[in-house]
Structure 1
């Protein structure tokens, strides 16, 4: 039995990056021998075991053979006669196809160290084309290692995979898994650039793909192109270290601009409602988690009103807070405001500008929450009011509190 450190831990070690999960490949063993040595089996599709002390994953060296379409269309062969080199050649990218022996020796049969130095993302072998998830993974790595380029032959191969319909067989859960991880990388825009360049974006996220080439008013959007703006918004979200919920809301906030009638461009009146409608279809198709879809819906519907909230009086501000469900969910409203700030600053020349609506609406929410609703309700009941009238009394009290809100800039 020979054990090797493989994959991301080797790659990141060569890059001087700490913190990667360590994965191991075991050559020359069997499932029975692993169990006898105290390892706990966890793999469903192929033999993977957890180390009895560290809990790290140890996989038997294996080969794969394509047997159908999509991610699950593979036959797995794991046996003591599978070599380390045979295991490495089935991996996606050369920078992920290196191994390290116990004595520190690097095993690099496919030039991964060379491509790390050259900052290139390159497929290991033609078998890359057998698994469409690898397109998503490569795009995600491009977002993480955003100074890396994609090798020309790899770009050609991915375009052919899209043309052959391989990405159409991806299951929604796997698309979301990779999309979510890519959104959380250092420069999310690179993921979408790579997907767009090979044609996969149009197949997987047509609502997003449609935004490129859609003009906006230059006085508000000096970058003009809506797709370019979206990429700037996503990168601003990464810059502000926003959570996934906010980054997904940023992704979906302007989808409706792609459906603006041509005769009214570059104005996009009413795009917020259209964005919410398109977002619902996207949410359902990719089975987006509830926390992400709920925040994205609020941001899509209300980001324009939040941007203009400095013009609103106390009554209108209260209605805005209520539509955002801010009083019941103040933490989510904080994320709504962060997404709107990303939108406002994700514009050419606006990157370092302050965003006054965020602080003003935070103050507005504090004022609204400061109202002692129990006392207001008790007074209304004592005055003989019932049902909706009590709610109206609470709303008036909150509106009175919001009258202390200073006018916006």
Structure 2
């Protein structure tokens, strides 16, 4: 039985970056032998175990053979006769197909590039030096999730290029319909992780280059070529603007739900009738309608889709909120459910700031709408509704009339806080 450290932990150490979780591969062992040593089996589709002390993952060396289209169409062979080279050959990229014998791993010590003990049959170290993402073998084509993984790695390592032969292979896979067979859970997992990388725009640009974006997110793909409003630099179309918004979200260290909202907030512009381009009137509701289809297709978590819906419907009003009087501001807060969910509203404002600053010449601009709306929300929240309701009851008002009295009190508080006219 031999154990090796493999994959991302070695790749990141060689790049001088913070380490990934450590993954291990075990050669020459059976599941029974692993269990006898106290390892806890956790793999559903193939033998993976947790170390009894460190809880790190240890997988038996395995090979994979394509048996049907899609992500799950594989026959897995894990047995003592599978070699390390065979296991590394099934991996996605050369930079992830490097191994180090367990006895050479020294906790607390880094790995030097060109480490003499590294096992690198597919020249991953060379591709790290060349800053290139290259597939290991033609077996890459058997797993369509790898298209998404390459795009995600491009977003993480934004100075890496994709090898021409790897891009050609990805295009062949898309043309063969492999991207159509992806399961929602894996697509969402990779999209969410890619959105959180250093330069998320590269993920979507790469997916677009190989044709996968038109399959997975056609609503996003058709934004390229749609002109922006004249005052927003019309030479930059809506697709390019969207990429700038995503990278602004990364620059502002926005959480993942905000970045997803940035991705999908302008979908309606891709369906704007030609006779009203480039004004895009009414695109907010179209964006919200298209957003629901995207979220259903990829099973987007409820809290993520709810934030995206608020941003899709209200980002135009939030951008224009500096022109609104107190009553209109309260209506905006109510439509966003900001009084009940102030944290979500703050995220919506951050997404709108990313949208506003994701334009040429606006990257370092202030976004006063955010501060003003937060002040309006605090003013509305400061109203003690119980005495207002009691006073309304004493005046013989009930039901909706009490709600109107509370709204008037909140409008007055917003007007006083902002120095704005009530209506």
TM-score between the two structures when normalised by the length of structure 1: 0.98
Match of 1:249 among 245, 250, 261: 261
Aligned partner of 1:23 in structure 2 is: 23
> For residues 322 and 342 of structure 1, what CA distance do their matches in structure 2 show?
22
User: 1:379 offset after TM fit, Å?
Assistant: 1.0
Alignment of 1:173-322 (within 5 A): 173-221=185-233, 223-322=235-334
Aligned partner of 1:103 in structure 2 is: 104
Gaps of 5+ in 2: 106-116
Q: Secondary structure at the match of 2:224?
A: coil
**Matching of residue 87 in structure 1 with residue 106 in structure 2:** no
> For residues 414 and 221 of structure 2, what CA distance do their matches in structure 1 show?
41
Q: Which is worse superposed, 110-119 or 397-406?
A: 397-406
User: 1:40 offset after TM fit, Å?
Assistant: 0.7
Aligned partner of 2:68 in structure 1 is: 68
Match of 1:376 among 388, 395, 400: 388
Aligned partner of 2:397 in structure 1 is: 385
Asked whether the 8 Å contact 2:227–2:235 carries over to 1, the reply is no
User: 1:384 offset after TM fit, Å?
Assistant: 1.6
> For residues 283 and 58 of structure 1, what CA distance do their matches in structure 2 show?
34
Aligned partner of 1:395 in structure 2 is: 407
Asked whether the 8 Å contact 1:223–1:347 carries over to 2, the reply is no
> For residues 129 and 403 of structure 1, what CA distance do their matches in structure 2 show?
61
Aligned partner of 1:155 in structure 2 is: 167
**Matching of residue 116 in structure 1 with residue 117 in structure 2:** no
Superposed CA offset, 1:256-299 (max 9, x none): 00111112211111111110011011111111100110000000
Aligned partner of 1:351 in structure 2 is: 363
Superposed CA offset, 1:303-327 (max 9, x none): 0000000111111001000000001
User: 1:222 offset after TM fit, Å?
Assistant: 5.1
Q: Which portions of structure 1, spanning 4 or more consecutive aligned residues, are displaced by more than 6 angstroms?
A: none
Superposed CA offset, 1:340-368 (max 9, x none): 00000000110000001000000000100
User: Residue 249 and residue 223 in structure 1: after superposition, are their counterparts in 2 closer, same or farther (change >3 A)?
Assistant: farther
> For residues 318 and 349 of structure 2, what CA distance do their matches in structure 1 show?
8
> For residues 409 and 155 of structure 2, what CA distance do their matches in structure 1 show?
48
User: 1:223 offset after TM fit, Å?
Assistant: 4.9
Asked whether the 8 Å contact 1:311–1:407 carries over to 2, the reply is no
Q: Secondary structure at the match of 1:76?
A: strand
Asked whether the 8 Å contact 2:338–2:345 carries over to 1, the reply is yes
TM-score between the two structures when normalised by the length of structure 2: 0.95
**Matching of residue 362 in structure 1 with residue 380 in structure 2:** no
Asked whether the 8 Å contact 1:119–1:147 carries over to 2, the reply is yes
> For residues 209 and 220 of structure 1, what CA distance do their matches in structure 2 show?
20
**Matching of residue 7 in structure 1 with residue 7 in structure 2:** yes
Q: Secondary structure at the match of 1:58?
A: strand
User: 1:173 offset after TM fit, Å?
Assistant: 1.1
Asked whether the 8 Å contact 1:94–1:112 carries over to 2, the reply is yes
Asked whether the 8 Å contact 2:91–2:97 carries over to 1, the reply is yes
> For residues 327 and 420 of structure 2, what CA distance do their matches in structure 1 show?
13
> For residues 374 and 322 of structure 1, what CA distance do their matches in structure 2 show?
18
> For residues 161 and 206 of structure 2, what CA distance do their matches in structure 1 show?
10
User: 1:103 offset after TM fit, Å?
Assistant: 2.0
User: 1:4 offset after TM fit, Å?
Assistant: 0.3
User: 1:407 offset after TM fit, Å?
Assistant: 5.3
Asked whether the 8 Å contact 2:60–2:78 carries over to 1, the reply is yes
Gaps of 5+ in 1: none
Aligned partner of 2:114 in structure 1 is: none
Q: Secondary structure at the match of 1:106?
A: coil
> For residues 10 and 223 of structure 1, what CA distance do their matches in structure 2 show?
43
User: 1:124 offset after TM fit, Å?
Assistant: 0.2
> For residues 233 and 174 of structure 1, what CA distance do their matches in structure 2 show?
24
